[in-house]
Amino acid sequence: MTHENKFGMFVHWGLYAVTEIQDQAFARMNMPREEYESLIHSFNPVKYDPEKWVLLAKSAGMEYICFTTKHHDGFCMWDTKETDYNIMNTPYGKDTLKMLADACAKHGMKLSLYYSCPDWHHEYGYNPASTHQWKAKMENGVNTAVYLEFVRRQVRELCSNYGPIYAFYWDIPPKIKDPSFNEMIRELQPGIYINDRGYDIGDFSTPEREYRSQDGQRFTRMTEACNSLGEQSWGYRRNEDFYSRRHIITAIDRIMAMGGSYVLNVGPDANGEITEEYASRLRKIGDWYLRCKESLVCHEEDTFVYGIRNYKPIVTKKGGKSYFHFPDGIRSSSIAICYFPSMPKSVKLLNTGKDLGYAIDMLPEYFTGSGIAMPYLHITGIPVDELENEAIVVEIEW
């Protein structure tokens, strides 16, 4: 997040994994309630190994995991005392959140918790002021007070029983203002970050999926953007339509260069595994991230007006170096900078770690209105064809 921005793993995992369709299969496919909720009797993730999840995340440079404790279907992935509709009453019968919390603690991984405000299982989960109410129970009318006390007790469990929590991620704004929820979370978890989708404004904003800021303008408040590896689902989907590596890397570079965090989602299957089709994509994205990480975290905005020909890169700085981010790539093997504070000491392409050539050149294609070529700081030798799937980051030490 701003001034402490990080790359993290989002995990959407729950009863819906059994459908192999989508995290909202209950609603989107209009499944009968009896059919969907009976999946509790077959959910048995015997291959669940949270240490593998944590080590996969670490191998991609991720520093935290955000785990869906309860999605819109109301099924709970921890040992809650507030409803029987939870993981303890499946054939598996183990507290998956506790297992993940222990694995995170063992390997120094921060843990965040996602909690859905809508609840399609609770007797009084229906909230007429909110969205995503498609499968909410309405037979007994509206009793918001009862449901909110249920939420309060569940959140207290989550913030009391699983060690230090890095961030709390409410989902789907309830359009009910009650600061006492976040106040309780802060009392139980001092120093925690809370997002903006709950019962008060929170600490950080949460742009989702295809978010794009005008001209790469730096975020003015803490921000955590998110997307999933899969276009159709956040939960596990058989035969998923996966985003290209380039599409995701472009988004990560843009968001993090603007000062935000980025949390990238995987959907484990009903056995509890992050399958290779998800894991391999994550490793490839992580490979780029680790090569460019130094430019993406703990930086400041570089406000010098460089006047770069043909591009408007996002420029950051730290430690006497400027980082020129080209999230959408570049069109040729060079970049031309019109204004610069001094001659560089060095120019490096972070994607490869290699030094780049640079000189003051008169470039015939870049000329004034009179047809006379102008001098530019000409940075050359960028292997643009080899980097077609990557955002490009150039480091200049002044």
For residues 284 and 328, state if they share a domain: no
For residues 11 and 127, state if they share a domain: yes
Give CA–CA dist 88/350, Å, rounded.
47
Give CA–CA dist 41/216, Å, rounded.
48
Q: What's the one-letter identity of residue 279?
A: A
For residues 239 and 333, state if they share a domain: no
For residues 34 and 172, state if they share a domain: yes
Render pLDDT for 166-222 as a digit per residue (tens, 0 to 9): 999 999 999 999 999 999 999 999 999 999 999 999 999 999 998 766 667 899 999
Model confidence band, residue 368 (pLDDT cutoffs 50, 70, 90): confident
3-state secondary structure 168-211: EEEECCCCCCCCHHHHHHHHHCCCCEEECCCCCCCCEECCECCC
Q: What domain range is 170 assigned to?
A: 7-295
**Which of 273, 295, 317 is at the close of a domain?**
295
Element spanning 280, H or E: helix 276-292
What local confidence, expressed as pLDDT, does residue 1 receive?
Answer: 46
What local confidence, expressed as pLDDT, does residue 213 receive?
Answer: 61
Give CA–CA dist 167/185, Å, rounded.
10
Render pLDDT for 220-276 as a digit per residue (tens, 0 to 9): 999 999 999 999 999 999 999 999 999 999 999 999 999 999 999 999 999 999 999
For residues 340 and 203, state if they share a domain: no
Is 115 among the domain residues? yes
Q: Is 372 helix (H, G, I), strand (E, B) or coil?
A: coil
CA-nearest of 110, 127, 111 to 119 is 127
Q: How many CB atoms lie within 10 A of CB 166?
A: 20
The tokens of 341 are what? 């504070």
Render pLDDT for 22-60 as a digit per residue (tens, 0 to 9): 999 999 999 999 999 999 999 999 999 999 999 999 999
396 DSSP 8-state letter: E
For residues 149 and 202, state if they share a domain: yes
Pairing of strands 110-116, 373-380: unpaired
Give CA–CA dist 40/22, Å, rounded.
16
Across the chain, mean pLDDT equals: 96
For residues 99 and 187, state if they share a domain: yes
Is 227 among the domain residues? yes
CA-nearest of 105, 117, 103 to 195 is 117
Average pLDDT over residues 111-121: 98
Render pLDDT for 283-322 as a digit per residue (tens, 0 to 9): 999 999 999 999 999 999 999 999 999 999 999 999 999 9
**Which of 242, 269, 295 is at the close of a domain?**
295
Taking a C-beta distance cutoff of 8 angstroms, is the pair 73, 120 a contact? Answer: yes
The tokens of 1 are what? 């997040």
CA-nearest of 221, 217, 228, 172 to 193 is 221
Is 2 among the domain residues? no
Q: What is the CATH number of the domain that holds 323?
A: 2.60.40.1180
Percent of the chain exceeding pLDDT 70 equals 98
Give CA–CA dist 231/209, Å, rounded.
9
For the chain, give the number of residues: 398
What local confidence, expressed as pLDDT, does residue 3 receive?
Answer: 53
Render pLDDT for 122-136 as a digit per residue (tens, 0 to 9): 999 999 999 999 999
Model confidence band, residue 15 (pLDDT cutoffs 50, 70, 90): very high
For residues 284 and 318, state if they share a domain: no
Is 1 among the domain residues? no
Element spanning 156, H or E: helix 144-160
Say how many domains are in the chain.
2
Residue 383, pLDDT > 50, answer yes
Is 204 among the domain residues? yes
For residues 96 and 239, state if they share a domain: yes
For residues 235 and 155, state if they share a domain: yes
For residues 118 and 53, state if they share a domain: yes
For residues 210 and 309, state if they share a domain: no
**Which of 295, 310, 336 is at the close of a domain?**
295
CA-nearest of 107, 8, 128, 124 to 51 is 107
Q: What is the CATH number of the domain that holds 103?
A: 3.20.20.80
> How many CA atoms does the CB half-sphere of 205 hold within 13 Å?
12
50 DSSP 8-state letter: H
CA-nearest of 170, 237, 313 to 28 is 237
CA-nearest of 304, 321, 331, 303 to 392 is 331
What local confidence, expressed as pLDDT, does residue 376 receive?
Answer: 96
